[in-house]
């Protein structure tokens, strides 16, 4: 098995400590991680390797369930720390000096603010760390709108080829999302029903009970539309509705997703007025209002909740509404996809539903009507449940980092996907910036604003809250 070198920019940050190092450790003890040549953690902090390891022991190890102390010591033995100023080329000379020239597989993870991506790429190129051996992982958000996303993509393309770039979205590494394509491709019961003739509507929800949790400055400049809808939820929507390609390889999957995203019906100001709801949480009991959170601008109009009725121009889905929503400080935390199948006109009962749970559990269930037990012909609802919470299931970051090492781009965003998503979202952002539609409010710890319920009930549908 070929060894690899791993370079992490932003190694002292929260994401690195909570997700990246625990995922690398898990891959190591699972036996999936190839032999490590060099593992170089970099950051702005002036730390020795010993001081950085102490930081890992205090801030990263705690996020690993059932950590084996002996294996952990073996794992961290491979790590070296290097203090780097991303604007200083001489620091990159030091980095290059720590990489073996014979290394054939070099993974560089950018767990840093996107504003530093371009300068880091430029300096990596100046020291020769951009040849075909190198793959780079880019964390979101990639831009704040279409123009800034294109600018980042175009600049990075000066230094790295598209096949070297891995734009990571951890939702695409979740077990139930990975299962979605298999479920659709290899089960004729769903393959034959997955179209407008049989599907009434689709719901995608991502809710959090948490508020901004100390990320006020970041969140106030971002908001729910950019943070969740533009990347995570539109990626999920594309996997739900795209045509299943003949081959489930990276090129075919990414092409199918892009085609689907291009079929999103553009939103006019009138569409936004009727089909897009933005809201912000207000105080309730122990919960502060959004405006009372730390580092939030006075009278901020930043949304913490969004609900949208989206439509596709794709022939397979024309006329089928896709209701998407996301919110912070909600009544419960979950992420789920629900496909509602059509009833025949002579049946006065609730529809069959396929429920795909992404979190907190990975689970797929099919809601069915079954006969009640006993001397009756009455029916009741019950679920066929496929539990994907196996001890063998990988955490999203573990799976995705291993995919990068192996050169598999199937679960990563192509630049055209992101730009197409931004092109659809941009009119909403412009509409809000011009205050053409109102900002609503909802009680912290609730299911969201009344207007989001009105949006879906207008079509005689209901949100599935659980």
Tens-place pLDDT, residues 117-159: 999 999 999 999 999 999 999 998 889 999 999 999 999 999 9
- Does residue 225 share a domain with residue 114? no
Query: Could you tell me the strand order of the sheet in which 276-282 lies?
Result: 379-387, 363-371, 353-359, 334-341, 199-207, 322-327, 305-310, 276-282, 440-443
Per the annotation, does 414 bind a ligand? Answer: no
Predicted pLDDT at 176: 84
Would you say residue 152 lies in a domain? no
- Does residue 366 share a domain with residue 249? yes
Would you say residue 197 lies in a domain? yes
Predicted pLDDT at 1: 58
- Does residue 180 share a domain with residue 59? no
Q: How far apart are CA 132 and CA 161, in angstroms?
A: 9
- Regions of the chain short of the pLDDT cut 50: none
Structure tokens at 432: 């809000």
For the chain, the domain total comes to 2
Would you say residue 228 lies in a domain? yes
Per the annotation, does 328 bind a ligand? Answer: yes
Quick one: which H or E segment has residue 220? helix 216-220
Per the annotation, does 208 bind a ligand? Answer: yes
- Does residue 251 share a domain with residue 118? no
Model-level pTM greater than 0.95? no
- Residue 55 · residue 47 · CB < 8 Å: yes
Residues identified as active-site: 232
Per the annotation, does 77 bind a ligand? Answer: no
Structure tokens at 354: 């396929």
Would you say residue 245 lies in a domain? yes
Q: Report the number of secondary-structure helices (H) and strands (E) in the chain.
A: 17, 15
Residues in the chain: 466
- Does residue 186 share a domain with residue 114? no
Predicted pLDDT at 213: 86
Give the Å distances, CA to CA, from 248 to 252, 254, 425: 6, 10, 28
Would you say residue 296 lies in a domain? yes
- Residue 308 · residue 323 · CB < 8 Å: yes
Would you say residue 394 lies in a domain? yes
- Does residue 128 share a domain with residue 40? yes
Tens-place pLDDT, residues 422-444: 999 999 999 999 999 999 999 99
Q: How far apart are CA 11 and CA 464, in angstroms?
A: 39
Per the annotation, does 226 bind a ligand? Answer: no
Cα of 3 vs its chain's centroid, Å: 29
Per the annotation, does 372 bind a ligand? Answer: no
- Does residue 76 share a domain with residue 180? no
- Does residue 135 share a domain with residue 181? no
Contact residues for 30 (Cβ-Cβ < 8 A; gap 6+): 394, 398
Quick one: which H or E segment has residue 54? helix 49-59
Predicted pLDDT at 346: 60
Q: Domain of residue 201: give its range.
A: 172-457
Per the annotation, does 227 bind a ligand? Answer: yes
- Residue 104 · residue 2 · CB < 8 Å: yes
CATH code for the domain of 28: 3.40.50.720
- Does residue 241 share a domain with residue 120? no
Query: How many Cβ atoms are within 10 Å of 254's Cβ, its own excluded?
Result: 21
């Amino acid at each position: 098995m070929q060894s690899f070198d791993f370079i992490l920019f932003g190694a002292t940050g929260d994401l690195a400590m909570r997700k990246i190092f625990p995922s690398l450790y898990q891959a190591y003890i699972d036996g999936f991680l190839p032999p490590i040549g060099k593992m170089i953690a970099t950051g702005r902090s002036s730390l020795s390797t010993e001081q950085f390891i102490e930081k890992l022991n205090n801030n990263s190890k705690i996020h690993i369930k059932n950590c084996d102390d002996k294996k952990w010591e073996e794992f961290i033995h491979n790590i070296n720390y290097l203090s780097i100023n991303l604007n200083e080329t001489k620091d990159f000379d030091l980095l290059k000096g720590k990489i073996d020239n014979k290394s054939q597989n070099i993974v560089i993870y950018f767990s840093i603010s996107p504003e530093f991506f371009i300068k880091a790429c430029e300096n990596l190129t100046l020291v020769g760390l951009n040849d075909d051996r190198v793959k780079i992982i880019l964390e979101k958000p990639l831009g704040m709108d279409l123009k800034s996303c294109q600018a980042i993509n175009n600049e990075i393309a000066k230094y790295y080829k598209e096949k070297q770039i891995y734009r990571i979205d951890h939702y695409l590494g979740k077990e139930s999302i990975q299962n979605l394509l298999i479920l659709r491709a290899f089960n004729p019961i769903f393959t034959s029903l997955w179209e407008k003739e049989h599907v009434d509507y689709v719901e995608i929800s991502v809710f959090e009970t948490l508020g901004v949790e100390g990320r006020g400055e970041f969140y106030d400049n971002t908001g729910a539309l950019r943070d969740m809808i533009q990347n995570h939820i539109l990626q999920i929507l594309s996997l739900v509705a795209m045509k299943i390609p003949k081959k489930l390889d990276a090129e075919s999957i990414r092409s199918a997703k892009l085609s689907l995203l291009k079929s999103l019906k553009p939103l006019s100001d009138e569409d936004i007025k009727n089909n897009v709801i933005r809201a912000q949480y207000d105080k309730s009991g122990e919960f502060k209002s959004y405006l009372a959170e730390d580092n939030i601008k006075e009278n901020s109009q930043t949304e913490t909740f969004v609900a949208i009725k989206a439509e596709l121009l794709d022939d397979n889905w024309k006329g089928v509404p896709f209701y998407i929503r996301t919110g912070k400080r909600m009544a419960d935390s979950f992420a789920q996809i629900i496909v509602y199948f059509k009833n025949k006109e002579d049946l006065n009962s609730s529809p069959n539903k396929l429920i795909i749970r992404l979190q907190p559990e990975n689970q797929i269930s099919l809601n069915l009507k079954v006969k009640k037990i006993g001397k009756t012909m009455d029916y009741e609802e019950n679920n066929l449940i496929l539990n994907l919470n196996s001890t063998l299931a990988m955490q999203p970051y573990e799976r995705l980092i291993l995919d990068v090492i192996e050169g598999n781009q199937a679960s990563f965003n192509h630049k055209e996907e992101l730009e197409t998503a931004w092109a659809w979202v941009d009119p909403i952002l412009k509409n809000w910036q011009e205050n053409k539609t109102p900002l609503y409010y909802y009680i912290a710890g609730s299911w969201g604003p009344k207007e989001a319920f009105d949006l879906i009930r207008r079509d005689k549908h209901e949100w599935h809250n659980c």
